[in-house]
């Protein structure tokens, strides 16, 4: 079932498209739902995407597709909502950006201090999937063979879990962080670079905490 705010946002987008044929901006969505920030709108859209009411269109910049609308069942005994498909997908141009927290620099070589301070980075909302995100500036060249260069901005989805082979932010002994491939090697955690000039780093599991996994990159020219 959708929360009240999720339902309100989906209905607002649908109604605006029906009235004007033009999708609302993130600012208009924020005002319509009486939210304090556009981050709240992003979280609602991410939740709708996870529930398959909306999907992001990878081949259309900053666009969303409404897949279906909720229809409350009339039977008093029903405890869930039925989903009524719409005949034709409706496109929503989410022509806005998100302000992600920018937490210092992270090493793509040897570990360095991370989360040193906080500013923000403007990121097109269409680049982000569901979940909470933050950004880190990459320092070093140990991930160049994965296309991650010094000075890039790594967009990180916050999570404390990692699967084998994912690129993660690993916090080492609670004060240093690095961006590496996550592997398991027997009872140890192995953090692999993507540069043949660097050696893997091995740690006991209690020395490493996962802070997130790579969701995307921004590069400024």
Residue ranges and CATH numbers for the domains of the chain are 4-93 (1.10.10.10), 97-218 (2.10.109.10)
Q: What is the rounded distance in angstroms from the CA atom of residue 97 to the CA atom of residue 122?
A: 6
Beta bridge partners of 84: 69
Q: Degrees (nearest 5) of the Cα angle 97, 94, 136?
A: 30
Over the chain, what is the mean pLDDT? 77
β-strand pairing of 167-172 with 119-124: unpaired
pLDDT 10s digits, 45-93: 888 888 888 776 654 444 667 777 776 433 333 443 344 444 444 444 4
- pLDDT: which is higher, 149 or 221: 149
The confidence band for 95, taking pLDDT boundaries of 50, 70 and 90, is low
Beta bridge partners of 39: none
Q: What is the rounded distance in angstroms from the CA atom of residue 38 to the CA atom of residue 35?
A: 7
pLDDT at 76: 31
pTM summary value: 0.57
Catalytic residue among 23, 38, 180, 187: 180
Q: Can you read off the two tokens belonging to residue 159? A: 């999570």
38 annotated active-site: no
pLDDT at 190 over 90: yes
Give the DSSP letter string of 63-97: EEEEEEEEEE---TT--SEEEEEEEEEEEEE---E
180 annotated active-site: yes
pLDDT at 106 over 80: yes
Highest mean pLDDT among 25-39, 116-130, 192-206: 192-206
């Amino acid at each position: 079932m959708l929360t009240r705010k999720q339902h309100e946002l989906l209905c607002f987008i649908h109604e605006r498209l029906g009235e004007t044929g033009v999708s609302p901006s993130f600012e208009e969505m924020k005002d319509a739902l009486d939210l304090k920030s556009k981050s709240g709108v992003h979280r609602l859209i991410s939740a709708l995407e996870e529930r398959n009411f909306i999907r992001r269109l990878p081949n259309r910049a900053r666009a969303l597709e409404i897949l279906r609308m909720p229809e409350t069942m009339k039977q008093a005994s029903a405890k869930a909502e039925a989903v009524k498909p719409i005949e034709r997908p409706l496109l929503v141009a989410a022509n806005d950006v998100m302000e992600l927290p920018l937490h210092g620099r992270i090493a793509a070589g040897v570990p360095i201090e991370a989360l040193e301070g906080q500013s923000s980075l403007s990121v097109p909302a269409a680049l982000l999937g569901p979940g909470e995100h933050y950004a880190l500036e990459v320092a070093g060249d140990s991930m160049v063979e994965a296309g991650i260069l010094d000075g890039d901005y790594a967009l990180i989805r916050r999570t404390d879990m990692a699967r084998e082979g994912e690129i993660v932010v690993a916090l080492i002994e609670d004060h240093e962080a690095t961006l590496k491939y996550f592997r398991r090697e027997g009872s140890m955690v192995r953090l692999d670079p993507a540069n043949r000039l660097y050696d893997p780093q091995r740690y006991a599991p209690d020395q490493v905490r996962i802070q997130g996994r790579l969701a995307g990159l921004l590069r400024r020219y």
